[in-house]
Amino acid sequence: MTSEAFEMAFCSGTSGCVRTCECGVTYFDEDDTTIDWENGELEGLKENSKKNPEMFRGCDYSIPTFIVSGKEFVFGCQCDGADMYENFINYHDTQIAEYLNKKAESLRGKADNIEVKK
């Protein structure tokens, strides 16, 4: 399972009453009755969670997500879908830091060569 630090670093900045993780599990805020649910939507989600609790999970909060490589994952999902990305970063942290430092140096060089006119 991905770490909280990884999820926060790639946070999508959004949350909602219903989110489906890349792994296919649907999370929904079953306690918020102020949401403008479609007719029967919340009841259907609750019924699905009774029939298939592994794939439909009710929560008592708005569902936040994080995005990695164009894939959206739900915070705290028990799937291992984003693990390979975090593991890659952890395994190659020195190389990634070296790359980012070289990239920053290149960008500083480009910025220094840009003339800003008043």
- For the chain, the domains span 4-112
Alpha-carbon gap, residue 37 to 26, rounded angstroms: 16
Q: pLDDT tens digits, residue range 61-114?
A: 999 999 999 999 999 999 999 999 999 999 999 999 999 999 999 999 898 888
Q: pTM for this structure?
A: 0.83
Tokens of 102: 């070289």
Tokens of 36: 């403008």
Closest CA to 13 of 70, 65, 60, 62: 65
Cα dihedral 64→70→71→74 (10° resolution): -10
Alpha-carbon gap, residue 37 to 16, rounded angstroms: 12
